[in-house]
Amino acid sequence: MEHIKVLIVGSGPAGFTAAIYTARANLQPVLYEGIEPGGQLTTTTEIENFPGYPEGVDGNQMMADLRRQAERFGTDIRSGQITRIDLSKRPFHVTVDGTTELEAEAVIVATGASAKYLGLPSETKFRGQGVSACATCDGFFYRKKDVAVVGGGDTACEEATYLASLCRKVYMIVRKPFLRASKAMQERVFRTENIEVLFEHNTVEVLGDDSGVTGALLRRADGEERTIDISGFFLAIGHHPNTELFAGQLDLDAEGYIRTEPGTSKTSVEGVFAAGDVKDPHYRQAITAAGSGCIAALDCERFLLK
């Protein structure tokens, strides 16, 4: 059975940053890309808020750059998905794609969190062309335009008020006859003049053409349909951390995010570290993920030197 020092699970900014640092520390990291090589950023057309790219950068290009940098220092990057992992004792026993067996002295979990979508074919079609799950990432592209936010919780209200500071008009599409957000967030929404809350509305279809999103077809609870003209369609109905593999083995919070010791990447199992969105229900930015990947690598290095 193959024995490796550091196994990195996930290939987003957190995973690749952890790989760069552990490789430079001569820990011979092996990184498995998982089912979505490059992570969520590969669905983003342009990133303008990552330091070091003054003209912005395509999401796929940035992930290709990170991959090359990790490989340059000797990271062994492999395609494949970790399908089973036993964290009950070290070295940890790992199964890849249901067949390949290996063992690892330390593990860095960087499996990310997936945004929840409505499941509409048109939503998939226009992802990255007007459909987004991150207002902070993409709101800048819709300055002085009309957009919609789907959701009625705190995140949706935060996204809507943020977009309202940039956009001409923001529609909030809310399934229920009320907002689930905290009272303070609700008040902020209702005080913002260019936010219109559409209660008891569901999205039937995202509309668009070759240039991207142009509108949305909505249906009210009473069956009446209407079309709104928008350039951006933002999902804010939650994220799902990719932690199924670690359920029952690592300490997770109520939403499934990995809990870590404050100020560190250390999980409830010695020798297992977490980085990126899989442990971050609040910020979910490429730069914070990369930073936490660095922390995980340094924590891992110190652990292995003990």
Look up tokens 């249901």; give the residue: 98
For 197, phi and psi rounded to 5 degrees? -90, 120
Cα 57 to Cα 45: distance, rounded to the nearest angstrom: 8
Question: Exposed, middle or buried, 105 (CB in 10 Å: 0-12/13-18/19+)?
Answer: middle
Cα 126 to Cα 119: distance, rounded to the nearest angstrom: 12
Q: Which amino acid is it at 225?
A: E
pLDDT of residue 134: 87
Among residues 93, 111, 112, 110, the alpha carbon closest in space to that of 1 is found at 93
Among residues 62, 229, 228, 232, the alpha carbon closest in space to that of 134 is found at 232
Cα 96 to Cα 36: distance, rounded to the nearest angstrom: 15
pLDDT of residue 291: 97
Among residues 17, 27, 37, the alpha carbon closest in space to that of 74 is found at 27
Cα 172 to Cα 175: distance, rounded to the nearest angstrom: 10
Handedness of CA 259, 260, 263, 264 (dihedral sign): negative
Query: What pTM was computed for the model?
Result: 0.79
Q: Which amino acid is it at 212?
A: G
pLDDT of residue 43: 65
Cα 235 to Cα 231: distance, rounded to the nearest angstrom: 14
Task: Return averaged pLDDT per consecutive 10 residues of the chain, 306 residues in all.
Answer: 96 96 98 81 75 89 94 96 96 94 97 91 93 89 96 92 96 96 93 97 96 96 96 93 95 96 97 97 90 98 95
Interacting residues of 48 by C-beta distance below 8 A, sequence separation 6+: 56, 140
Residue 218 pairs in a beta bridge with: 203, 226
Q: Answer for the pair 264, 3: CB distance below 8 angstroms, yes or no.
A: no
Q: Which amino acid is it at 83?
A: T
Q: Per the structure block, which two tokens stand in for 253?
A: 């919070």
pLDDT of residue 92: 97
pLDDT of residue 44: 64
Q: Answer for the pair 16, 293: CB distance below 8 angstroms, yes or no.
A: yes
Q: Tell me which residues are annotated as active site.
A: 134, 137-138
Among residues 69, 108, 64, 65, the alpha carbon closest in space to that of 85 is found at 108
